[in-house]
Structure 1
Amino acid sequence: MTNQNIEESMGALLQDFDVKRIKSGDILDGEVIDVNDKEVTVNINYAFDGVIEKAELTNIDKDPREVVQQGDKLKVYVLSPNDGEGYVQLSRVKALEITEREDIKKAFNNDEVIKVYVKEEVKGGLVAYYGNIRVFIPASLASRERVILSDLIGKELEVKIIELDFKSRKIVASRRVLEDAIFENNKKELWKSVKSGEKRAGVVKKLIKAGAIVDIGGITGLIHLTDLSWGRVNRAEDVVKEGDKVEVFVGEVDAKNERVSLILKDINEDPWTTNEDKLKIGAVIEGKVVKFLNFGAFVELYPGVEGLVHINEITDENIAKPSDVLTLGQKVKVKVLDVDKTNKRVSLTIKDAEEKSKEYLKYNDIDDGVSLGDLFKDFFK
């Protein structure tokens, strides 16, 4: 039977059944009555069933049986009222393009979230589909975190349309804008909850001259060099490195300006408290020279506890600066002259802590293990 005869027969049948006429471009409601690996048969409440070929079912390369099932209801677009074999040729792709265009336009105008399926990675980003409409996600907008784009292929993502131009087929979406909004909301909640004095887990993000920047779960704060350890710290990298997981105490919190200071050293182990019994006026302690000033030298007595030796208390000799007789790192005996526990200050003397014998002072820096007999043997000849 020729196509002309088939069309004439169909026309006669339609007249006999007095059913509605359909034409190319119509969008109809249909119900799946059969599906196989190549096509889908659809009841469209017409004298003849419709057929959707695999390529017209979806832009995603999937077996039709993974896309629809018997009984599913869907919108279909009439490609041809007669495919030459007694079926109406249909397209789900084209029907969706019309309805999905309206969905995307509505989402864009109302700043709404839609879901897209990521199909492939291309130069500069990802190609995704909202149903059958191509959507581009730039690499910089795929996530607020560093992400391997290929890992997102085959996944469904929530995005917002940030640029829409159907004429030039330019539809751009962002996943990052959603993540940024979540991040900012979480950060606001975190600022409400963070309290001075509490302990939090954090990660060292960056080392700077002033100390270390630490993330405590959406909030970043500075650990100043002086708060990294009770002992003297010259460089942050001497205590921590980037990526380290740390437990920190929260210092001052300025939620309004989103600033917080952090403390790594244990605030419950203040060396001024733990060494309080040893800091007595008149006590002689061995310390280490850690810093020079024009008017004296600082000596570390215990980690976190330092005292000042005024230049006049270093030696009876007339010196221009502390480094004339002392070196950084040198161990010295010091005597406590005064203790100000409130302001955490200790005044020290070196000269009064040493033996008064000039000969003893002369040999004081000789290596340990030398006896007094060896030192003064020439005096007993």
Structure 2
Amino acid sequence: MVDEVNQEQEMSEIKSFSAGDLVKGTVTKIEDKQVLVDVGYKVDGIVPIKSLSSLHVESPADVVETGEELELKVIKIDDDELILSKQAVDEEKAWEDLEQKFENNVTFEAEVKEVVKGGLVVDLGVRGFIPASLVERHYVENFDDYKGRTLTLKVLELDRDKNRVILSHRAVVDEEIQQKKGDTLASLEAGQVLPGTVQRLTDFGAFVDIGGIDGLVHISQLAHHHVEKPSDVVEEGQEVQVKVLSVDHDNERISLSIKETLPGPWEEVANKVQAGDELDGTVKRLVSFGAFVEILPGVEGLVHISQISNRHIGTPHEVLEEGQEVRVKVLEVNPDEHRVSLSIRDLLEESAQEEHHAVTPSYEEEDGSGVKLGDLFGDALKKFK
């Protein structure tokens, strides 16, 4: 009688289920192709390996462990078998969660589970796909290193009927850059000197990143001297110092200068150029009263018309042309007033004197027989002196 009572109590404690029910159970055993779970039924429920995850699973042990409590959905039931699914519960929760994230533009994190042709796969309870073009802002040749990495993501597209979930890491990066760009723009003021990185070169200048936003250094602001093309003085990736010239917040345009952060060419003239120096230079401009000759980058000195030739000339154009390379002598240096006086004539006269001395006979020269020329032609030689 007692045995019958106990049997009735045990039978009353055994739960009854229907297909579609949601249940909780504890993993009792992990096998090669399935997991056994105690849900209070007369036999352990079975979770087939394909019902553990939305992704491909090599071994159930990769997904669950013994003693773990799971939420499951009843798929099939009869007297001797109870088939359950973890994937079905995860998918239902995942779709609800993803729909909320999509509607509210929420950023979240997920681990990359697989690297497949065309992109990356994450497990969100449903299979989430990140196309290669939406992983980074830059081109990635090999995604192997991404497996196991945790990425911040946004939902770009959802289609529950097609079980389609498209995600993007690039969208998160773009947002962060845009936010940083806005913060930087708001903090900029004319006159600031900032570090930057040359991003790209154009015919008219260089674009420099100064903290998430690019500003333009016009070609005229790259150096104190004339620049033919930006690549002559800077290169992409180069770290530079720039001065903010102006900021147009409405159009997000920033004008920068590298030249303004560099020592002026005249600041070092006093140390590099002294009166009496002989220098090579380039004729930059011809004017009625003389010629301006560049003797250092950005430093021009004046050769007055009276100092151009050792003969009288009406205009500098008679003997000089722009772009001509010339040798000059420094007459005077005044760095404070940015003035250097030069002469071409002095060097011509010095050269003429040297040539004159080279061809003029000397009293001490001999005729080859030991007799000095001065003794033979004294009066005649005096005429050369």
Output the TM-score relative to the length of structure 2: 0.73
Structure label with greater radius of gyration: 2
Match of 2:368 in 1: none
Q: Displacement of 1:329 after TM fit?
A: 3.4
CA distance in 1: counterparts of 2:283 and 2:64, whole angstroms? 77
1:355 aligns with 2:346: yes
Relative to 1, partners in 2 of residues 1:363 and 1:88: Cα closer, same or farther, differing over 3 Å? farther
Deviation at 1:170, TM superposition (A): 3.5
> Quick one: distance in 2 between partners of 1:293 and 1:105?
75
AA at the equivalent of 1:331:
R
Residue 38 of structure 2 is matched in structure 1 by 43
Answer yes or no: is 1:218 the counterpart of 2:212.
yes
What fraction of aligned residue pairs are identical, expressed as a percent? 28
Residue 375 of structure 2 is matched in structure 1 by: none
Task: Check the 8 A contact 1:191/1:255 in 2, yes or no.
Answer: no
**Contact 2:360-2:384 within 8 A present in 1 as well:** yes
| C-alpha separation in 2, matches of 1:164 and 1:23 | 31
* Corresponding pairs, count: 350
In the aligned structure 2, how far is the partner of 1:13 from the partner of 1:294? 121
Q: 8 Å contact 2:34–2:46 — kept in the other structure?
A: yes
Paired residue type of 1:34: K
Give the structure 2 partner of residue 106 of structure 1.
100
Q: Alpha-carbon deviation of 1:132?
A: 4.0
Task: Give, in whole Å, the separation in 2 of the partners of 1:192 and 1:99.
Answer: 42
| Residue equivalent to 1:248 | 241
Q: C-alpha displacement at 1:37, in angstroms?
A: 4.2
Q: Say if 2:337 is the partner of 1:333.
A: no
* 1:375 Cα deviation after fit: 6.8
RMSD over aligned Cα atoms = 4.0
- For 1:137 and 1:293, the matched residues in 2 are separated by 65
Q: Is residue 135 of structure 1 aligned with residue 128 of structure 2?
A: yes
- What's the CA shift for 1:261? 0.7
Please state if 1:147 is matched with 2:131.
no
CA distance in 2, matches of 1:331, 1:223: 35
Q: Map 1:270-309; keep pairs closer than 5 Å.
A: 270-276=264-270, 286-289=279-282, 291-292=284-285, 297-307=291-301
Gap change, CA 1:38 and 1:308, over 3 Å in 2: farther
CA distance in 1 between counterparts of 2:329 and 2:212 reads 48
Shift of 1:19: 4.4
Q: Compared with structure 1, are the counterparts of its residues 312 and 191 closer, same or farther at alpha carbon in structure 2 (3 Å cutoff)?
A: farther
Question: Any gaps of 5 or more consecutive residues in structure 2?
Answer: 1-6, 362-380
Query: 1:309 and 1:189, CA in 2 relative to 1: closer, same or farther beyond 3 A?
Result: farther
Pair 1:49–1:14, CA change in 2 (3 A): farther
**Does the CA contact (< 8 Å) of 1:314 and 1:349 recur in 2?**
no
Q: For residue 77 of structure 2, what is the aligned residue in structure 1?
A: 81
- State the distance in 2 between where 1:362 and 1:99 align: 96
Normalised to the residue count of structure 1, the TM-score between the two structures is 0.74
Offset, 1:141: 1.7
Deviates more, 1:174-183 or 1:35-44: 35-44
**Cα separation, 2, equivalents of 1:93 and 1:323:** 93
Q: How does 1:89-100 map to 2 (within 5 A)?
A: 89-100=83-94
Deviates more, 1:253-262 or 1:97-106: 253-262
Q: Residue 185 of structure 1 is aligned with which of 151, 169, 179?
A: 179
Matches of 2:271 and 2:147, distance apart in 1: 66
C-alpha contact (below 8 Å) 1:285/1:301 kept by paired residues: no
What are the superposed Cα offsets for residues 193-230 of structure 1, whole Å, 9 maximum, x if unpaired? 55645352x43322222333333442323344454444
Give CA-to-partner distance per residue, 1:6-40, whole Å, 9 cap, x none: xxxxxx99993264431222222223233344322
Which residue is equivalent to 2:384? 380
1:374 aligned partner, one-letter code:
A
Q: Deviations along 1:166-191, whole A, 9 cap, x unmatched?
A: 22444322211111111122223334
How far off its partner does 1:96 sit?
Answer: 1.4
The aligned amino acid for 2:254 is R
* Other-structure match for 1:6: none
Question: Where in structure 1 are there 5+ consecutive unaligned residues?
Answer: 1-11, 365-369
Contact 2:198/2:240, CA 8 A, preserved across alignment = no
One-letter code of the match for 2:42?
Answer: A
